[in-house]
Amino acid sequence: MRRIGVIGAGYVGLTTAACFAHLGHRVVCADVDRRRVARLCRAEVDLHEPGLARLVAEGLREGRLRFVVGNREALSDVDFVFVCVPTPTGEDGSADLSAVRAVLREARELMAPDAVLVIKSTVPAGTTDRAAAEMEGHQVVSNPEFLREGHAVQDFLQPQRVVVGASVESAALRVLDLYSGTGAPVMVTTPTSAELVKYASNCFLAMKLSYVNALAELCEQIGADIGDVTEGMSLDDRIGASFLTPGPGWGGSCFPKDTKALLSTAESVDVDFSLLRATIDTNEHQPQRVVEKVRELLGPVEGRRIGLLGLAFKAGTNDLRDSPALAVAELLAEQGARLAGYDPCVDHGPVPVVSSVEEAATGASALLVLTEWPEFAELDWPDLASRMARPVIVDTRNLLPRDKVTEAGFTLLSLGTPASTTRPTTAGL
C-alpha cells in the first residue's frame, strides 16, 4: 500500500485515483472545482465510463479514496503525486502548461523530499526535465496516460503498456511498482522519449484516420467502395483493422489538441512536419464535406429541420469536447437549418436536444448519423420514413444497413461509396 496524491479529478485524474484505490493504495484526489469535489464525495460520477462509479463508491466506502478541494493534502504526506490537470491548446497552438506550472509551484513548497512527482498530463517533450530542474531535488517522472474514453477503467487496469520516463532508475522502479497489480507490459525510457511516445501515438492514429477520410473522398470520385478498400488493406497484418472507419472527422479532448501541440513542438525546432499539418487540415475539412453531402440531397438547408443522430465525439461517451458532430451542427445552423439533436448519453448541449430518434426525425428533411452508437443501426426504418418531411439520411459513420434503409424508401448517402449506388434520383424530393 502506498500513499498517492492525485491532482485533478477529471477524466484522467478520477480514473487514476479510483483505480489506484482499487489496487489497494491510499489515495487523496484533489481538484479546484468545489462542485465536482462535492459530487464525488457523494460518489456521484458524471462521466459515462463503465465501472468508474462503482470503483469510486468502493474506494469511498472502504476508506482508501478521498476527494478534497485544493491541493495541499494531496501534495504533502504522500509517497507519490500524480499530476492530471488539463493541457489545452494555447493561443499559438502549443500546449498551455499553466495548470501544470501552478501545480509544480505548490508541489515545490509542499512535497516531502523523498516523494516522487509523476506527470501524467500530456505535456510536450522536455517538460518533465524542466520540472525536475525546478523541483529542487525531488524526483520527477513522466508517466503518460493512454486510456480511451468509454474504456477508461479497463484501459487503466489492463493497459497495453505502462511507459515511464525517468532520469533516475530507482524513481522509475518505484512508479512501476504501483502498477504491479495490473500485470501490464512496461517500458522505461528517458522523460523526453516517454513524453513523445504519447504524442507520437495519438498523432499516428489521427494520421491513419485522416488518410482514410481522404481515401473515402477519393473513392467517391473514382467509383470505389471504402469499406471494401479498408477491408482489403486490413488483411495485411502490418496495417491492421483498427482506426480505418471513415467519419465526420476525429475529435475529442485529445487528438485535436495533441496534433496541434506536436506540430508546434516541431516548428519550435525548425522541423518541417508537413505530414502532421496535412493530417490536421484534412480533418478540419471533414465537417464541411458532410454539409456538402446534405446540400447535395436537399439543396439550401435554410429553414429545413434536420435531425442529428449522435452529438458525442464518438460512441460510448457523453463527451462533447471537440465533437465533429457539433462542428457539423454549427455549419448547418450558420446556413439557417433548424436542428434537433438526439444522443443516448447527452441531455443538453449547444444544439436543441430531443429525447428520442423519433422526435429528431419528425418533420425533418434529413437525418444525419454523426456518432456511431450501435443502436442507430437497428431503427424502425419504415416508421422513421413516415415521420419525416423527406426520407433522406446521410450516414457519416457508415453504420446503417443499406438494404433495409433503402427498402424503407430512404435516400441514403454514406462516406466513400460510389456515387452511382449512393445517389439514387433526388427528383421529387
Among 219, 254, 276, 327, binds ligand NAD (CB under 6 A): 254
Can residue 84 be called a binding residue for ligand NAD (CB under 6 A)? yes
How many residues are listed for the chain in this entry?
429
Residue 244 lies near ligand UDX (rule: CB under 6 A): yes
Cell matching residue 134: 525546478
- Judged by beta carbon, residue 30 or residue 400, the one nearer ligand NAD is 30
Residue 10 found at the interface with ligand NAD (CB under 6 A): yes
Q: Cβ(199)–Cβ(262) under 8 Å? A: yes
Q: Rule CB under 6 A: is residue 231 a binding residue for ligand NAD?
A: no
- Picking from 71, 68, 65, 141, the residue whose alpha carbon sits closest to that of residue 99 is 71
Confirm or deny that 35 is annotated as ligand binding. Answer: no
Of residues 349, 249, 239, the one with CA closest to residue 291: 249
CB of 299 to ligand NAD, least distance (A): 39
Q: Is 29 a catalytic residue?
A: no
Residue 218, φ and ψ in degrees, nearest 5: -65, -45
Which of ligand NAD, ligand UDX, none is residue 176 near (CB under 5 to 8 Å by kind)? none
164 binds, among ligand NAD, ligand UDX, none (CB under 5 to 8 A by kind): none
Q: Which residues contact 249 (CB under 8 A, 6 or more apart)?
A: 213, 283, 284, 286, 287, 324, 327
In 111-159, where does DSSP find H-type helix? 127-134, 152-157
Q: Can you tell me the distance from the alpha carbon of 399 to that of 396, in angstroms, rounded to the nearest whole number?
A: 8
- Give the Cα separation of 299 and 66 in Å (integer): 56
124 binds ligand NAD (CB under 6 A): no
Q: Which three cell numbers stand for residue 203?
A: 498523432
Among ligand UDX, ligand NAD, none, residue 29 binds (CB under 5-8 Å by kind): none
125 binds, among ligand UDX, ligand NAD, none (CB under 5 to 8 A by kind): none
Contacting ligand UDX within 291-330 (CB under 6 A): 313-314
Sheet hosting strand 80-83, strand order edge to edge: 65-69, 26-31, 3-7, 80-83, 116-119, 139-142, 162-165, 186-189
Give strand ranges (E) for 105-235.
Answer: 116-119, 139-142, 162-165, 186-189
Contact partner at residue 103 from ligand UDX, ligand NAD, none, CB < 5 to 8 Å by partner kind: ligand NAD
For 180, phi and psi rounded to 5 degrees?
-60, -25
Q: Are strands 65-69 and 26-31 parallel, antiparallel or unpaired?
A: parallel
Catalytic residue among 84, 203, 219, 254: 254
Distance separating alpha carbons of residues 144 and 156, to the nearest angstrom: 11
Regarding 147 and contact with ligand NAD (CB under 6 A), the answer is yes
Q: Which is nearer to ligand UDX, 82 or 313 (CB)?
A: 313
Pick what 85 binds: ligand NAD, ligand UDX, none; C-beta below 5 to 8 Å, kind-dependent: ligand NAD
In the complex with ligand UDX, the residue whose CB is nearer, 251 or 341, is: 251
Q: Does 16 bind ligand NAD (CB under 6 A)?
A: no
Is residue 253 within the footprint of ligand NAD (CB under 6 A)? Answer: yes
Asked whether residue 277 is marked as a ligand-binding residue, the answer is no
With cell 465533429, the residue in question is 324
How many CB atoms are closer than 10 A to CB 337?
23
244 is in an annotated binding site: yes
Q: Does 162 bind ligand NAD (CB under 6 A)?
A: no
Annotated binding site for NAD(+): 31, 36, 87, 122, 149, 257, 321
Q: Give the residue ranges of the annotated binding site.
A: 31, 36, 87, 122, 146-149, 198, 243-247, 251, 257, 314, 321
Residues in contact with ligand UDX by CB under 6 A are 145-149, 202, 205, 209, 243-245, 247, 250-252, 254-255, 313-314
Interface positions with ligand NAD (CB under 6 A): 7-13, 30-33, 36, 71, 84-87, 99, 102-103, 121-122, 145, 147, 149, 253-254
Catalytic residues: 254
